Chain A
Amino acid sequence: VYSLPSKKLVVLQIRSPFIKNKYRPFCQTLLSWVKNSKCARVVLLSSSHAYQRDDEQLLGTPLRYLLTPDLEKAVGGLMQELNWKEMEKVAAYPGINDTEKVLHIPGGGITKLLFTESCSEGIQMAVLLKFCSEGDNIPDAFALVNYLNEWLQLIKSDVNISTQWKMPSSWRLLFGNGLPPALF
């Protein structure tokens, strides 16, 4: 957990997978804490499998957002101004019945659960997600944080915004050590 008191910001970074059957209690505990600590808003940064996009989603921006009804009242207009795209609902029974639509975030882990629970618990939550593929997700991370910055203006969005973000040292050597010279 990281905090920036000057911006009244708390960041929770989930760095490991969940123990089997424990992700639901985790979500419940987390949302309980959000309510008890009187947290004003929650922003969930997430992603979804790029390969699950439909034909329309293959075009245009790979970034999407979702707002719980309570947050929609507060900032829905701003999202329109920013020209952001809301995450599309998909048919519950594709091919059989195309009228019933549900929210589906494949590869999003606990995103959908947290979002639907927040909707019913009256929590102001926004989900910001990017369609991505397996592989080097560093560019995806930059795209997502720049997307967040369009809204929250955490740093001034100059021309060369990417150079203003600090790369974490845990990103070093992500794809292995140096090679032994003897190889060549």
Chain B
Amino acid sequence: MATFFGEVVVAPSRAGVDDEESAEEAREETPEDREIRRELEKKREIDVLWALKSGASAESSADEPFVCSRFIVAIGHNAAAFLSSFILDSVCWEVVGVVKLWNEWCRTSNTTNVLPTDSFCLFYRLISDPTVLLCQCSCYVAEDQQFQWLEKVFGCMRKESLQVTILSTCPVADYKTQESTLTLPSPFLKALKTKEFKEQVCCPLLEQPNIVRDLPAA
């Protein structure tokens, strides 16, 4: 495949599996290979740690699911910064959880005292209404970790009457539209909602053929 600059690049296979990858797999896996793969899978596991009762911290799996009425998730640096600038403060909100993960693109920082430039995934609770939860996820959650993230995070909460709001950003250049994006006034908001969401949406819905990807999509 030739790009605009004329160099030839190998396009990823749209069949979903590259022929080289399947040839690689066909080779017998040695015990060393298996061990390496197991170690790598363990390294890529996600840990979700909650500190829901003040002072105490516990593994998420041990606790009973807690009640949650509203869950706002900010994914990516921009959305996380939005929450930091306009919503979060140390008076009304307390840190109640953290996700620890590693992948080729990032490792989450160990502290809850994070800088805006750090990669982190923190959960905050509104002190005046403990059923309101906020998540700032500025680290990249890899494709093979997304399902685990969802299972472990949502697995801890009671989902009856739960309303989830996801905030994220995409480059305007990726927006597919009949006109050119050059003259499009930006930034602008678009929304997607499930059929269970009955309230008014504050902005137009995202038109086809645009799609959402990664953790927000999951």
Of chain B, the residue at the smallest CB distance from A16 is B16
Known contacts A17-B13, A109-B17, A134-B11; is A173 also within 8 Å of B177 by CB?
yes
- Cα distance, A181 to B176, chains bound together (Å): 16
Q: Is the CB of A171 within 8 A of B209?
A: yes
* Interface members, chain B 1-48 (any A CB < 8 Å): 1, 11-17, 19, 21-22, 25, 37
Interface residue SS majority, chain A: loop
Q: How many A-B residue pairs have CB under 8 A?
A: 70
Q: Which residues of B contact A38 (CB under 8 A)?
A: none
Q: Is the CB of A19 within 8 A of B143?
A: yes
Query: Contact check: which of B16, B144, B183 meets A110 at CB < 8 Å?
Result: B16
A21 within 8 A of B: yes
Q: Which residues of A contact B175 (CB under 8 A)?
A: 177
Known contacts A173-B177, A178-B180; is A134 also within 8 Å of B12 by CB?
no
Q: Is the CB of B12 within 8 A of A170?
A: no
Interface string of B177-190 (1 = CB under 8 A from A): 11111110000000
Count of chain A residues with a beta carbon within 8 Å of a chain B beta carbon: 32
Count of chain B residues with a beta carbon within 8 Å of a chain A beta carbon: 27
A169 within 8 A of B: yes
Q: Is the CB of A106 within 8 A of B12?
A: no
- Cα distance, A179 to B181, chains bound together (Å): 9
| A107, A113, A177, most chain B CB atoms within 10 A | A177
Interface string of A154-181 (1 = CB under 8 A from B): 0000000000000001111110011111
Q: Is the CB of B16 within 8 A of A180?
A: no
Known contacts A23-B16, A180-B182; is A172 also within 8 Å of B21 by CB?
no
- Cα distance, A91 to B177, chains bound together (Å): 48
Q: Which residues of A contact B144 (CB under 8 A)?
A: 19-20, 22
- Cα distance, A173 to B180, chains bound together (Å): 11
Contacts A24-B25, A173-B176 known; list 19 others, CB within 8 Å: A14-B16, A16-B16, A17-B13, A17-B16, A20-B21, A21-B25, A47-B15, A109-B13, A110-B15, A110-B17, A113-B22, A134-B11, A169-B208, A171-B209, A172-B176, A172-B208, A177-B175, A179-B180, A182-B182
Q: Which 3 A-B pairs have the closest CB atoms?
A: A109-B15, A169-B208, A180-B180
